[in-house]
Amino acid sequence: MKNPFCLILSVLLLSASMTSCNRDESSGQNKLLLVSIDGFRADYFDLYETPNLDYIAENGVLADYMIPVFPTKTFPNHYSIATGLFVENSGIISNNMYDPETDRYYSLGNRESVQDASWYSGEPIWVTAEKQGIPSAPLFWPGSEAPIGGSYATYWSPYDDDLPYSARVDSVINWLQIEDETAPGFMTLYFSKVDSYGHWYGPESDSVATAVQEVDQQIGYLLNELGRINYREQLNMIFVSDHGMIEISEDKIIRLDELFNLEDAEIIDWAPVTKIRPDDGKTDEIYRNLKESERNYTVYRKSDIPQEYGYKNHLRVPEIILVVSPGYTVTSSERLAGSEITGGNHGYLHTAPEMRSLFLAMGPDIKRGIKSPPFQNIHLYELMAKLMNIEPSPNDGKLDSVKHILN
């Protein structure tokens, strides 16, 4: 229970609700909602019609953009936001991974792996909150399906891409109306459509405009519902995306089979950061071949990956990786046959302008109507801990980088 005094008072006074009790509380006592709009590139905010996000920017804080972690994929970034850790410390180094110690594979489609806590290091914010007496509801947040640190959040659900967005918002509204000690003080929402449409139709397309509009309307619904239950002024809200999106095309292709013998290695990930696990004794030869033809990608041996990517120091990073130039697709002649390279993708270098992500926040503990310079998403864990007035676990972020957002 976040504030037992509040509950006791509510019970004693009978007529007083948790909601009205919250209203009088000081900073650190308001609930926190974290919303992710997957693949919402920072400049979509200017490119597309977003009346509800505009309202939040006008009444809260809009960052010029947020800098994702490397690699700019969904699970690494969501889990780094939740833990404040670079991926070499969080363990979620990509959406697809191989662990040489256990000889097991992880992927988003492999439910068993996603729900297996042994893949996840660090302490996500919902675990930190639960440990300090704040029930939480990390709905669909990557990692929330696994019992990290030995237990689940008070409220969580297996990922269901088909659950209507309005039903997700309704869950939050219902949670906010719980008045007993199971009332969550931390909640999340997740919307995937902007990312999906970005992949299928490209970032600058009518379809993405429609997807952005649909998500924005759901945020409008959320704001209206918060008004209806009298919570609009009492909830701290953070709206983020995990990464951006860039157009891909047939003329920007890297065929791996033209660069080295694919029989000599396992490709763990074809995606923009290509993860190559050479067979025994093949590392030098494959590296040499890739280095000789280095064009539209940078090839790294594991030991040479720049330290500042926060990536190299993990067992799950294989011996060779390719960091592919934004907009390029890594494939093979075989994979290419019959497939079309159109639409958009992400996963490229985290400093590429097209990979920039969204940050917006609004609430009683957040400044009104200011713009923030860019910052890295690893600082959000500290920010969220501060907003909930809980002690953060050790992490790679710094409150100093984001505290200008707070009142």
Q: Which residues bind to ligand AMP, rule: CB under 6 A?
A: 38, 73-74, 95, 108, 114, 140, 142, 159, 161, 192, 195-196
Task: Compare residues 241 and 389 and give the one whose CB is closer to ligand AMP.
Answer: 241
Task: Compare residues 165 and 287 and give the one whose CB is closer to ligand AMP.
Answer: 165
Task: Compare residues 91 and 278 and give the one whose CB is closer to ligand AMP.
Answer: 91
Token duo for residue 260:
């080295």
Closest approach of Zn ion to the CB of residue 75, in Å: 8
Residue in the shown chain whose Cβ atom is closest to Zn ion: 74
Total length of the chain: 407
Pairing, β 235-240 against β 246-247:
unpaired
The stretch among 221-229, 238-246, 250-258, 261-269 that binds Zn ion (CB under 5 A) is 238-246
Pairing, β 265-269 against β 97-99:
unpaired
Binder of residue 93, out of Zn ion, ligand AMP, none (CB less than 5 to 8 A by kind) = none
Token duo for residue 335:
């994979």
Three-state secondary structure call for residue 146:
coil
Token duo for residue 66:
């947020």
Binding mask 10-39 for Zn ion (x = CB under 5 A): ----------------------------xx
Binder of residue 196, out of ligand AMP, Zn ion, none (CB less than 5 to 8 A by kind) = ligand AMP
**Amino acid occupying residue 78:** H
In the chain, how many H helices and how many E strands?
14, 19
Binder of residue 192, out of ligand AMP, Zn ion, none (CB less than 5 to 8 A by kind) = ligand AMP
> Does residue 74 carry a catalytic annotation?
yes
Token duo for residue 3:
């504030």
Q: Per rule CB under 5 A, is residue 354 in the interface with Zn ion?
A: no
Closest approach of Zn ion to the CB of residue 379, in Å: 19
Q: Report which of 212, 190, 191 is spatially closest to residue 201, judged by C-alpha positions.
A: 212
Binding mask 176-205 for Zn ion (x = CB under 5 A): -------------------x----------
Closest approach of ligand AMP to the CB of residue 244, in Å: 11
Q: Per rule CB under 5 A, is residue 130 in the interface with Zn ion?
A: no
Pairing, β 31-37 against β 359-362:
unpaired
Closest approach of ligand AMP to the CB of residue 359, in Å: 19
The stretch among 143-151, 234-242, 323-331, 386-394 that binds Zn ion (CB under 5 A) is 234-242
Residue in the shown chain whose Cβ atom is closest to ligand AMP: 74
Binding mask 69-108 for Zn ion (x = CB under 5 A): -----x----------------------------------
Closest approach of ligand AMP to the CB of residue 170, in Å: 19
Q: Report which of 319, 348, 380, 371 is spatially closest to residue 100, judged by C-alpha positions.
A: 319
Taking the C-alpha atoms of residue 51 and residue 45, their distance in angstroms, rounded to an integer, is 10
Q: Per rule CB under 5 A, is residue 216 in the interface with Zn ion?
A: no
Cβ-Cβ contacts under 8 Å for 69 (sequence gap 6 or more):
76, 77, 80, 86, 87, 310, 350, 376, 377, 378
C-alpha neighbours within 13 Å on the C-beta side of residue 235: 29
Taking the C-alpha atoms of residue 95 and residue 106, their distance in angstroms, rounded to an integer, is 7
List helix spans (H) across 115-232: 125-131, 165-176, 193-201, 206-228
**H-run or E-run covering 205:** none
Task: Compare residues 69 and 114 and give the one whose CB is closer to ligand AMP.
Answer: 114
Considering the candidates 50, 72, 74, 83, report the single residue annotated as catalytic. Answer: 74
Q: Per rule CB under 5 A, is residue 247 in the interface with Zn ion?
A: no
Pairing, β 273-278 against β 320-324:
antiparallel
Task: Compare residues 142 and 203 and give the one whose CB is closer to ligand AMP.
Answer: 142
Q: Per rule CB under 5 A, is residue 242 in the interface with Zn ion?
A: yes
Task: Compare residues 3 and 95 and give the one whose CB is closer to ligand AMP.
Answer: 95
Task: Compare residues 77 and 283 and give the one whose CB is closer to Zn ion.
Answer: 77
- Please state the separation of Cα 57 from the chain's center in Å: 20
Burial of 241 (0-12, 13-18, 19+ CB in 10 A): buried
Task: Compare residues 203 and 392 and give the one whose CB is closer to Zn ion.
Answer: 203
Q: Report which of 203, 334, 317 is spatially closest to residue 269, judged by C-alpha positions.
A: 317
Catalytic residues: 74
Task: Give the footprint of Zn ion on this chain (CB under 5 A).
Answer: 38-39, 74, 195, 242
